[in-house]
Amino acid sequence: MIYSSWTILFRVVKNTRKRLSSWFRSALKPGIIIGYFTKVVADQMHFRNTSLTRTAIAALLLCLSIQTFSACTNETAVKKTTGGYSYVPPVPAPTPVDSRVQNYSVTLLDGGGSKFADLIGNDKIVLVNFWATWCAPCRREIPDLVNIQRELRGRGIEVLGLTVEDPGRDLDKVREFTQKYGINYRIGFSPMEMFMAVNGKDPRGVIPQTYIFDRKGKLIDSARGFRRDFKDWVLAVVEQAEKES
């Protein structure tokens, strides 16, 4: 049976509204919802033949282009030189993460839960990475995060990945994903309200987002979106965190 592009888009909207909970719909942000929107479009592909019309293609490409550009940063690249890294700490110093975030509970993939405040500081430098299994830029960062965890663990540096997905619905999917990608760092689930509090006033709400805290829990620097120099940036910020700890 052949369905028009408008029928397909109608099914996407209908299924999206049906599957998303009310609290998630109230906090829709382009950077997060587009991944789910794209997945729903893929789910509908069996409703039509290969003659998908230009309208549906254009709509999907527009959404993908928004996600691609909004998920990249405009920061000056950090490079490794003979004298160290070409990293300049942010001026003024980063605004501390919203104090409400400290009291949110994070469900951990390996069982149990913990308040966010207990996951940072405690004489450890902690890199907190917000991500999702459907986020392509997030997947590009994972090999670097795996290497950082392996190489720096002995220096008291810890990587914590917080997915914005639902632990009630996506627990098994996230577990399978971590096994597939060989993730060797701790994984937890960030409540959407917590992510939005961390995100602050940024209207994009993009992921990935990375925050690096020193041994006392002070925010040293952060990155919103994908950085091509991600690993060099992390190593440079970690060095800065070690100096300030």
Mean pLDDT of all residues in the chain?
78
- Using alpha carbons, list the distances in angstroms from residue 180 to 139, 142, 167, 174, 228: 11, 11, 18, 10, 23
For residue 102, give the 3-state DSSP assignment.
Answer: helix
Q: Mean of the pLDDT values across residues 109-125?
A: 93
How is the chain split into domains, by residue range? Answer: 5-70, 80-244
**Residue tagged 């949110």 (tokens):** 104
Q: Which of 26, 198, 210, 202 lies closest to 116 in space, CA to CA?
A: 198
Q: Which of 30, 58, 25, 60 lies closest to 42 in space, CA to CA?
A: 60
User: Model confidence over 211-229: pLDDT tens digits?
Assistant: 999 999 999 999 999 998 8
Whole-angstrom distance, CA of residue 93 vs CA of residue 62: 36
Query: 80-244: CATH homologous superfamily?
Result: Glutaredoxin (3.40.30.10)
Which DSSP symbol is given to 182? T
Q: Let me know the angle formed at the C-alpha of 109 by 105 and 110, rounded to the nearest 5 degrees.
A: 110
Q: Which of 72, 185, 231, 229 lies closest to 137 in space, CA to CA?
A: 72
In the chain, what percentage of residues exceed pLDDT 90?
49
Q: Is the pTM of this model over 0.85?
A: no
For residue 134, what are the contacts with CB-CB under 8 A and spacing of at least 6? 35, 36, 38, 39
Contact assessment for residue 174 and residue 165, using Cβ atoms and an 8 Å cutoff: yes
Whole-angstrom distance, CA of residue 198 vs CA of residue 142: 21
- Tell me the pLDDT band of 172, cut-offs 50, 70 and 90: very high
Give residue 24's pLDDT: 40
Whole-angstrom distance, CA of residue 17 vs CA of residue 33: 11
Give residue 20's pLDDT: 43
